[in-house]
Chain A
Amino acid sequence: MNIPVRHATTAAATKLAIVDCDIHPAYRKPSDLYPFMSARWREHMETFGEHLRQGLSGQLCWPRMSAFGMRADAFPKDGPPGSDLELMRRQHLDPNGVEVGMLMQLSKGGMEERNLEFAAALSHAINDWQLETFVKPEPRLRAGLVVPQEDAAFAVSEIDARADDPSFPQILISPRSSDPLGHKRYWPIYEAAERCNKPIALHVQGYPGGHASTGSGWPTYYMEEHYAATTGMQNTLTSLVFDGVFERFPRLKVVLIEGGFAWAPALAWRMDKHWERMRKETPHVKRPPSEYVRQHVWFTTQPIDEPDNPKHLAEVIEWLGWDRLMFSTDYPHWDFDDPLHTFKFTMTEAQKAKVFRDNAKALYGLP
């Protein structure tokens, strides 16, 4: 979905500076990370590369519908979309009035790497690289602290080491984990997140974590795999609730990014119903699941759902809570949502302020 380059004056006309909760940076080439890695891991990367849980090493097993799943107009002269800060400013941050942009670095951060020593090296490198390449030169941008969830001990050390750095307002782990994220092996990460008062951000992941995308195996088409991101998010939220994560970590905040949100009220009702019937099995879940969801979970907007009757989406947001939805564009990906055209129904000024800016500012403690 390509749009003409918008002039900076358009943003001024909307009079609302926005927080974009999903922007994807990229390195021009993998060796951009080398300055942040030891010789041992540079050599490993050159010789062996990443060791993932999928059959192709050069691309994803469900090829995307456009080049790398990117907006065709977002390619800089040199390198992939998202790698040129100047273009990102000119094409997105300036014209769309982005006051704060939350970076989502999805690959080469170790979340999907099988060799956990290498994963730790990648995680540390990608976090330093985000700081040097984007956050320091562009004060509007914030990094997500990428940590490999499968090595909780390392993840905790990385979180603790950067606990006081406001450049990293949230912690990224993969919802395509090796076990459902409610599993106790991940609890040290939640404990560390609670300790430094940073949300856990779960962005949909292209790389599997060792399990099929559906309970009935692997889908055929990208159209299915694209949707499986939303069922996977439902799975992850179910696990967090019923494994008692929110009961054990009452101050934990979780952000679900690019996983949709219109399913969330229905999932919460479903969990409530079956929790009530089966509650002897999970006595550690003390309150109806919907209460934990309402209290602990935030959602981003892109890709926005577009019912035939736009009012229906407004009704879903009523169920979800206007204070739990945060605007995102997914720049520079192909299914980018344009802030001027995302919502097809009329929002009040107060609703608009919450979704486009204030909910995120409150959650992340942004000035």
Chain B
Amino acid sequence: MKVPIKGGIDCDLHPAQPSMTALLPYLDEYWRDQVVDRHITRYSFNLTSYPPNSPLSARPDWQHDASSDLDAIRRQALDAFGSRYAICSVLHGAVALFNEDMSMALCSAVNDWVAKELLDREPRLRASILVPVHNPERAAAEIRRVAADRRFVQVLLFAMGDAPLGRRIYWPIYEAASQLGLAIGIHAGSTYRHAPMSSGWPAHRVQDYVAQSAAFEMQLLSFLAEGVFQQFKSLRVVLMEAGFAWLPHLLWRNAKAWRGMRAEVPWIDRSPAEIIREHVRVTLQPVDTPKGDAATLAKTLEHIGSDRMLLFSTDYPHWQYDGTDALPDGLPEAIVKRILIDNPLETYPRLREGAQISDNASNSKEAVR
């Protein structure tokens, strides 16, 4: 069904990634030379998880030239759904590089490009901070640098990476996010440091994509078991493009398993289901209950047991639905406004502020050689 009210907050929108040439002005001299001399500018930084011509990556009627991307976003994603804000996440492949320094430099450039080319030009846009996780201390420094611009509302991580994200080596990232009022957004996608399945490498892209939900499940468990939510009490983790029909099983299973295994994780002082319902949010698309089956959707939402967890998302320009039917048929009226407005505002403290734009965000860049 269509979005029935104006002013929704779209929590998962993907601008086209900038070409390497477009990023050159945002790199210092050393990195400009590096990427030019090594011909890195000539090839794409697409993630393997999102091949540009795959139906998942680009809905046919939403395909457009990268140069007209902002116009397309305004027309097809913001105006068409009546969104008040949309949170941009650029799924840039720089995070998949093994070279920590280069990865850091390119991610910084992407963040600065987003501020200047998107946020400055379209006041309805907000953004995620792209960070590589090779060196969490440096990631935290980049978060602090970019977060001076309050239009950045979350940190962007990926569902499959080097290690489970709850691991304590990553806590500097969560400490920075907590202090700065940023959510942690985990988006579908892999840097392929590990096989997508616990039995190895599947043959097809559709299998990788289906397996994302299992990866999200294990990331949630990692945050839970390591005690991230005990340490960072205000932290919100947003699972983006994860689906949500798998949630009830995870909640039920872990509420029970914890009773037998709590001695191993004694900091978990109440039911995991309760902790997850409090700290974790999930973007709406892809809706993974059967299309047009309102009864199953309603039961699934009842099984999830909370009306606070879902956040409206168009997942533009990924092809998850047709036309402007970004809400599933039969979504109970009582929760439509929650999903569209209240839940996003509760999740992202920075969306509750007026747009205050830092004037020194792009001047405070650290040398990252």
Say which residue of B195, B201, B252, B264 sits within 8 Å of A65 (CB atoms): B264
Least CB distance, A46 to chain B, in whole angstroms:
31
Least CB separation from B202: chain A residue: A180
Say yes or no: is A277 at the interface (Cβ < 8 Å to chain B).
yes
CB atoms of B215 and A214 under 8 A apart: yes
Q: Shortest Cβ distance from B213 into chain A, in angstroms? A: 6
Query: A242, B204: Cβ atoms under 8 Å?
Result: yes
- Give the residues in chain B near A65, CB-CB below 8 Å: 260-261, 263-264
**A14 to B218 CA separation, bound complex (whole angstroms):** 39
A interface, size bucket:
35 or more
- Say whether B288 contacts A227, CB under 8 Å: no
Query: Is A160's beta carbon under 8 Å from chain B?
Result: no
A225 to chain B, nearest CB (A): 9
Residues of chain A with a CB closer than 8 A to B254's CB:
223, 227
Residues B199 and A181 in contact, CB atoms below 8 Å apart = yes
Q: In the bound complex, how far is the Cα of B199 from the Cα of A176, in angstroms?
A: 5
CB-contact partner of A269 in B190, B222, B253, B288, under 8 A: B288
Evaluate whether A270 and B199 lie within 8 angstroms (CB atoms) in the complex, with A217-B194, A221-B264, A223-B264 already known: no
* Nearest CB of A to B190, in Å: 6
> Which of A15-23, A34-42, A162-170, A307-315 interfaces with chain B?
A307-315
Report if A224 contacts B (CB, 8 A).
yes
Which residues of chain A in 171-222 are interfacial with respect to chain B, using CB atoms and an 8 Å cutoff? 175-183, 208-222
Q: Roughly how many angstroms separate A226 CA and B224 CA in the complex, as a whole number?
A: 14
> Which residue of chain B lies nearest to A312 when distances are taken between CB atoms in the complex?
B303
Do B305 and A308 touch (CB < 8 A)?
yes
Contact B164 A270 (CB under 8 A): no
Chain B CB count within 10 A is highest, among A216, A275, A313, A315, for: A216
Measured CA separation A220–B170 after assembly (Å): 13
- Say yes or no: is B165 at the interface (Cβ < 8 Å to chain A): yes
User: Closest A-chain residue to B161, C-beta based?
Assistant: A216
CB pair A242–B199 under 8 Å, yes or no, is: no
Q: Could you say which of A226, A239, A315 contacts B207, with CB atoms under 8 Å apart?
A: A239
Q: How far is the CA of A129 from the CA of B251 in the complex (A)?
A: 40
B203 touches A263 (CB 8 A): no
A335 at the interface (CB under 8 A from B): yes
Give the contact stretch, choosing among A86-94, A229-237, A293-301, A354-362. Answer: A229-237
Residues of the A chain whose Cβ atoms lie less than 8 Å from the Cβ of B205: 278, 281
Q: In the complex, how many angstroms separate the beta carbon of A157 from the nearest chain B beta carbon? A: 23
Residues of A within 8 A of B263 (CB): 65
A224 to B197 alpha-carbon distance, docked (Å): 15
Q: Which residues of B contact A282 (CB under 8 A)?
A: 204, 206
Q: How distant is A256 from chain B, measured CB to nearest CB, in Å?
A: 13
Q: A214-B198, A216-B160 are in contact. Are A274 and B225 (CB under 8 A)?
A: no
Please indicate the chain B residues that have their CB under 8 angstroms from the CB of A213 in the complex. Answer: 198, 218
Does A306 sit within 8 A of B, measured CB to CB? yes
* Residue of B55, B211, B252 touching A215 (CB-CB under 8 A): B211
Report whether B200 and A223 are in contact in the complex, using a CB–CB cutoff of 8 Å.
no
CA distance A265 to B253 in the complex (A): 15
Check A180–B246 contact: CB distance below 8 A. no
Report the interface size for chain B: residues with CB under 8 A from the other chain: 74
- Given the complex, which residues of B lie within 8 Å of A210, measured CB to CB? 200
B199 and A227 form a contact (CB under 8 A): no
Minimum C-beta distance from A179 to chain B (A): 5
Q: Flag if A216 contacts B217 (CB, 8 Å).
A: no
A271 within 8 A of B: yes
A236-B199, A270-B245, A305-B256 as given contacts; A219 in contact with B288, CB under 8 Å: no
Assembled-state Cα–Cα distance A104/B199 (Å): 20
Partner of A303, one of B203, B222, B256: B256
Q: Does A248 contact B (CB under 8 A)?
A: no
Known contacts A215-B160, A215-B211, A227-B254; is A178 also within 8 Å of B199 by CB?
Answer: yes
Contact (A220, B256) CB under 8 Å given A228-B218, A315-B299: no
**B319 CB-CB contact with A under 8 Å:** yes
| Smallest beta-carbon distance A155→chain B, Å | 16
Q: Tell me whether B199 and A179 are in contact (CB under 8 A).
A: yes
Instruction: Say yes or no: is B255 at the interface (Cβ < 8 Å to chain A).
Output: yes
- Name A211's closest neighbour in chain B (CB-CB): B195
In the bound complex, CA of A221 to CA of B212 (Å)? 21
Query: Cβ of A243 < 8 Å from any Cβ of B?
Result: yes
Whether A214 touches B199, Cβ cut-off 8 Å, given contacts A305-B249, A306-B255, A334-B260, is no
Per CB-CB distance, the 10 closest pairs between chain A and chain B, nearest first, are A231-B214, A266-B245, A235-B197, A215-B160, A214-B218, A215-B215, A278-B206, A232-B198, A262-B249, A305-B252
- Further 13 A-B residue pairs, CB within 8 A, beyond A179-B200, A228-B221: A179-B199, A215-B194, A232-B198, A235-B199, A235-B202, A242-B207, A243-B203, A266-B245, A267-B213, A270-B243, A277-B319, A281-B205, A306-B252
Interface residues of B (CB under 8 A from A): 54-56, 159-167, 190, 193-207, 209-215, 217-219, 221-222, 225-226, 243, 245-246, 248-258, 260-261, 263-265, 273, 286, 288-291, 296, 299-300, 302-303, 305, 319
Residues of chain A at the chain B interface (Cβ within 8 Å): 1, 65, 175-183, 208-224, 226-228, 230-232, 234-236, 238-239, 242-243, 260, 262-263, 265-267, 269-275, 277-278, 280-282, 303, 305-308, 312-313, 315-316, 319, 334-335
Name 26 A/B residue pairs within 8 A (Cβ), A-sorted: A177-B199, A179-B200, A180-B197, A180-B203, A214-B198, A216-B160, A216-B218, A217-B161, A217-B193, A220-B225, A220-B226, A221-B264, A223-B221, A239-B197, A239-B199, A242-B207, A262-B252, A266-B248, A266-B288, A269-B289, A269-B290, A278-B56, A278-B205, A305-B256, A307-B303, A335-B260
